[in-house]
Structure 1
Amino acid sequence: MDPVGLIMGDPKVSAEIKRELKPCTGKEYPVDVSYGRVTGSPVVDIVVNVLSCADALGRGSYVYRADGGKYENVFSDEQPPVYAEIDRGDLVVTKQVYGKSDALAYPSGEDVITYRWDGEKFTEQDRVHSEYSNVVDGGPLPAPATSQKN
């Protein structure tokens, strides 16, 4: 499977993502691909994360499900920074959260959102928000996460 070809040929992927998806070095594209079962399909699903070359932050995350002889985009998130992965049959999307004065390297926290396939689409099952501490180098651990179950 060619994940770059999948992204470039997908009408649901924004023109900006397609325009910026170029090799970082040589022929290496900034994509992270994983295969697994997340939609209940008998054929493995494909999760593609498009990253930036400069800092490897997630620019977009996509899930492709086999439909006949081709793959169909059944999930996309293009609000960076974003990263999607399969965890025990669920789709887990991690998004860094930034305050107004946060540097790119130091987000204020993160949201971890769990989605489950309902037979037709992904629905949010859980959302956990964690605040990071301002203290660096041996400071306290992140504040306890808060969870919202749907």
Structure 2
Amino acid sequence: MAVSGTAMAGLAAVGLFGVSCSAGGTGTRDEGPARSDPVAAKVDPTPLPTTSAPAEAPPGPAARKDPVELLKDDPKVSATVKHDLKPCVKDIYPVDASYGKVTGNTSDDIIVNVMTCGDAVGIGSYVFREDNGRYTNVFVAEEPAVYASIDRGDLVVTRPEYKKGDPVAFPSGEVVVTYRWMGQKFVEHDRVENSYSKAVGNGDKQGEVQSPGLDADEQKKDATEPGRAGGTDDTPSPRS
């Protein structure tokens, strides 16, 4: 019985050892050191360069229509204006052109002003509207010193106002008319009349004041006759 008791005690010890080895730690079946938990890889915050197609260059401005060509080919432009439409210097014409929207069109309208070469006085103003690649003249104003421009989508036409005896350089005033596009034509929207003072701008180059009611020839005659205003008097003045 003693031997068998000792044997049983030994078997029990061996069983406990086996359980402890399989429950935790490294047992007799483990090969090498115990595996550790996986560690997250370090992420570089700098993004990797990506290859993409090069950005397309923005479209350039649309080709501008030659205003001189429009004037020469348009039947609404008078023969007088076409006759005076000649280069001032080499191939430079006395023509101003503005590109913008005044007719509600998706394409730019062209406002053309024709002037004289010598003193740049307007002789004609026109508006050309694009339609399916062709330009149509939708506004004509042909008179001395007329000039058209664009103001916040409206067409503004300035005309000088001359009275009898007014020189070209000094009109009595001006009329500024604002037009708006209504359907298929321009309609007058606003009108402003400006009156100029006669107290300025009527002197000659030597600062002499012109007499009202006299033209230039009469005033020149007055200046040369003895005893008249601006002339010389040969009669000696009495001594004091």
TM-score (norm. length: structure 1):
0.89
Percent identical among aligned pairs is 60
- Secondary structure class of the residue paired with 1:4: helix
User: Counterpart in 2 of 1:31?
Assistant: 95
1:13-92 to 2 correspondences below 5 Å: 13-92=77-156
Gaps of 5+ in 1: 138-150
SS across alignment from 1:19 = helix
In 2, are the aligned partners of 1:40 and 1:117 still within 8 Å (CA)?
yes
More helix by share: 2
- Which residue of the other structure, out of 99, 124, 140, is the alignment partner of 2:163? 99
Match of 1:135 in 2: 199
2:69 corresponds to: 5
Q: Which runs of 4+ in 1 moved over 4 A?
A: none
Structure 2: gaps of 5 or more residues: 1-64, 202-240
Q: 1:112 aligns with which of 171, 176, 184?
A: 176
Q: Size of the alignment, in residue pairs?
A: 137
Larger Rg: 2
For residues 94 and 47 of structure 1, the distance between their equivalents in structure 2, rounded to whole angstroms, comes to: 13
Higher relative contact order (CA 8 A, sep 6+): 1
Measure the CA separation in 1 of the matches of 2:180 and 2:69.
26
Give the deviation of 1:25 after TM superposition: 1.1
Give the TM-score of the pair, scaled to structure 2. 0.56
RMSD, aligned α-carbons: 0.8
Query: Partner amino acid for 2:110?
Result: I
Q: Which whole-Å deviations, capped at 9, do the CAs of 1:40-92 have from their partners, x for residues lacking one?
A: 00000000000011110110000000011110000010022200000000000
What is the rounded CA distance, in whole Å, between the counterparts of 1:62 and 1:107 in structure 2?
23
User: In structure 1, the residue corresponding to 2:103 is in which secondary structure?
Assistant: coil
Q: Structure 2 CA distance, aligned partners of 1:129 and 1:82?
A: 14
Take 2:97 and 2:188, find their aligned partners in 1: how far apart are those partners? 22
Residue 91 of structure 2 aligns to a residue whose secondary structure is: coil
| Higher strand fraction (1 or 2) | 1
For residue 190 of structure 2, the aligned residue among 126, 133, 136 is 126
Q: What's the offset of the Cα at 1:110?
A: 0.2
Paired residues of 1:43 and 1:66 also in contact (CA < 8 A): yes
Q: Show the counterpart of 2:211.
A: none
Q: Distance in 2 between matches of 1:64 and 1:26?
A: 26
